Amino acid sequence: MKFLFLLLTLFVSLYADVYTQKLYETVLGSIFKERPIVVFATGDVKATLQNSKMFDVVGNCKNAVVAVIGNDTSLEQRCKNIPIFATTHRNYMRILNAFGAFYWRKGRPQIHFREGELKMFHLHLSHDLQRFIDE
Amino acid sequence: MNNNVFFKKSFYITYVTVIVLIVGAFYIFKIFDKTSSDIERLTLQSNIEYINNITNNLANLINKKTDMQLVNSLKISKVLRRSLEENLGMFRTKRYKYIYVVQKLPNTEKFCFLLDGAKKDKSGFLEIFQPFNIQEWLEVYKTKKPRYFKHRNIKSLWLTYLKPIVQHNKVVGIIAIDFSLNEYNYMHNTLDDLSFSIKIFMSLLLFVFIVVLIFVFIDKKRVYLLKKQAKEIQNFNITLQKKIDEEVIKNREKDKQILEQSRLAQMGEMIGMIAHQWRQPINAISAASITINMRAQMDTLDPKSTIELADKIGELTQHLSKTIDDFRNFFKDTKEKQDMTYDELVISTLDIVGVSVQNKNITIITDIQSDIVFCTYVNELKQVLLNLIKNAEDVLEEKKIKNAFIKIEAVENRLIVRDNGGGIPEDIIQKIFNPYFSTKTLNGTGLGLYMSKTIVENHCGGTISVTNDAEGAVFCVVLPST
């Protein structure tokens, strides 16, 4: 029984990773049209994106079209020329060129976009995602 | 009960029992499902009641501390926010994962956090919040009544309870409490364990029952076969007993016939003996008659000699009559036992056969040293002794033995008849009591010794045996002492 429970937990964990990966594919895939999307990522999200065929994860911001940044604030300055997608609410609020964010709050996924930054980087959201634009 | 009935009965019993077990199992599972859902319902109900009380108090506290100006008060006073968040945090347990207060943003379906009871990963004041099941949240604003709903697509949450904070008859915020899924999982896992155990138990029960049923079936079959065999043996015994009874009756009939044959044979011999016995007296009667006739013709018949001759004829006639009585008594079929000694037996037998034997120059020697009185069938024993004497006579005559003798001895309960005829060959001595076994070349029926053995052993309860001594055969009859 314990084994069954462990297996279930493992499955749910795997499912959560897949969910996150799928969400990144949906969100970033609808905004950036080139394939693969060259992305600079740090932290846990790097591994998640590396598992997806849609993304080409690179080691610096120079070649990337988008940066997905978690808690590492030191990257902020180096990536100020490309759009940044935050993975925490704190970074989303703090980083000026963050056009959007995805993070979990109270067990619920939270997606946010800033209209100004989207315009600044000439990014277009699909109709489905427009309801997540902060007003 | 035949095979078919037995197997049909067993099949029906098995069939009905399995059906009953299956129905029973379904019934148990149904009861378990109902109990399980009852437990779930009651747990939910109890949780809701409890959380309703908590949120009522929290709402009252918030209203009191914010002076019925929730948003403004919280915007102004960070201290108040912290104080209220501490109050919210006091109720946060493993069961109640998140406790927070949100407010709906105007003209959107988004909310913003006002208060958060969490210590880690705390949401910021006025941080935008996009809940799932948005309609449920909006409904609270509309109805001003608390609501709860279960989650299907949030992995760590089981249920969310929403309590409106009403100020000035208007919903100004919602106290939201998210129930951890762990509590629900714990309950469900326990019920699953129980269900699993019941299933295993029922399966084992069914398995054990089937195994027991198979063994009972095999045992019943074995018992049935044993019973069948026992009945067959019983029937066989009954048939066998019938056959034995029939054979016994047949043997008795056969013995009777043999006895009759033996008697007829003896009668033939007896007629010869009577002839021997009668010859002398008849000759004497004839001589007396001739004497009377001659004297009458010669006119010398005086009264005295006439009376003497007449008396002699009378005596001889009496002797003839006695002889006839002896023979008649010998053949009389007495059914009752009589007292007898060996001395009486020998004398009465020799009265019949003695003359005949002596006429053949065979000496009869008697040595009776027994005065035991036997209660037995006298005439039948006479036949036995007669047989033994006649057999000895035949052998002695056939072998033309010189100085032939037959010795009759009686010592205590033993009667011994021996002769000097040379004895019985050893290769046939064991067969001489068999029926129809005879060594005589003429007039041998082979029944004499067989009948003698039957009379002594079956009728009189004694034994008869034969051995050879230096001179001839020795027959020994032993009668039980009364």
What's the pLDDT score for residue B196? Answer: 87
- Residue B223 distance to chain A (closest CA, Å): 46
Chain B interface mutation, best of A106, A110, A111, highest count of B Cβ atoms under 10 Å: A106
**Residue B421: other Cβ atoms inside 10 A:** 23
Contact A135 B108 (CB under 8 A): yes
Q: In the 8-state DSSP scheme, what is residue B174?
A: E
Distance between CA atoms of residues B106 and B392, nearest Å: 153
Say yes or no: A135 contacts chain B, CB-CB below 8 A. Answer: yes
Q: Is residue B414 a contact partner of residue B400, using CB atoms and an 8 Å limit?
A: no
Mean pLDDT for all residues in chain A: 83
Q: What are phi and psi of A106, to 5 degrees?
A: 50, 40
Model pLDDT for residues B114-127, shown as the tens digit of each residue: 999 998 888 999 99
- Residue B453 sits in a domain whose CATH number is 3.30.565.10
Let me know if residue B431 belongs to a domain: yes
The amino acid that residue B83 corresponds to is: S
Structure tokens at B414: 């033993």
**Buried b / exposed e along B270-301 (16+ C-beta atoms within 10 A):** beebbebbbeebeeebeebeebbeeeeeeeeb
Contact A112 B128 (CB under 8 A): yes
Let me know if residue A88 belongs to a domain: yes
Let me know if residue B93 belongs to a domain: yes
What's the pLDDT score for residue B335? Answer: 65
Say yes or no: A132 contacts chain B, CB-CB below 8 A. Answer: yes
DSSP string, B319-343: HHHHHHHHHHHHH----S-EEE-HH
Model pLDDT for residues A6-60, shown as the tens digit of each residue: 443 444 444 556 788 898 999 999 999 999 999 998 888 888 899 999 999 998 8
- Residue B131 sits in a domain whose CATH number is 3.30.450.20
What's the pLDDT score for residue A1? Answer: 40
Q: Is residue B384 a contact partner of residue B300, using CB atoms and an 8 Å limit?
A: no
The angle subtended at Cα B299 by Cα B298 and Cα B305, nearest 5°, is 105
- What's the whole-number mean pLDDT along residues A94-108? 90
Confidence of residue A3 (pLDDT cuts 50, 70, 90): very low
Q: At what angle do helices B342-358 and B378-398 cross, to 10 degrees?
A: 30
| Overall number of domains in chain B | 2
Say yes or no: A23 contacts chain B, CB-CB below 8 A. Answer: no
Let me know if residue A6 belongs to a domain: no
Range of the domain at A49: 13-132
In Å, the largest CA–CA distance within chain B is: 203
Which of these three, B164, B186, B208, is where a domain ends? Answer: B186
Let me know if residue B163 belongs to a domain: yes
Range of the domain at B58: 3-186
Contact B131 A108 (CB under 8 A): yes
| Overall number of domains in chain A | 1
Let me know if residue B297 belongs to a domain: no
Q: Which residue stretches of chain B have pLDDT < 70? A: 1-4, 6-7, 276, 329-335, 441-445, 482
- Residue A25 sits in a domain whose CATH number is 3.40.50
Model pLDDT for residues B310-351, shown as the tens digit of each residue: 888 888 888 788 777 777 766 666 668 889 999 999 998 888
SS3 B420: coil
What's the pLDDT score for residue B7? Answer: 66
What's the pLDDT score for residue A13? Answer: 47
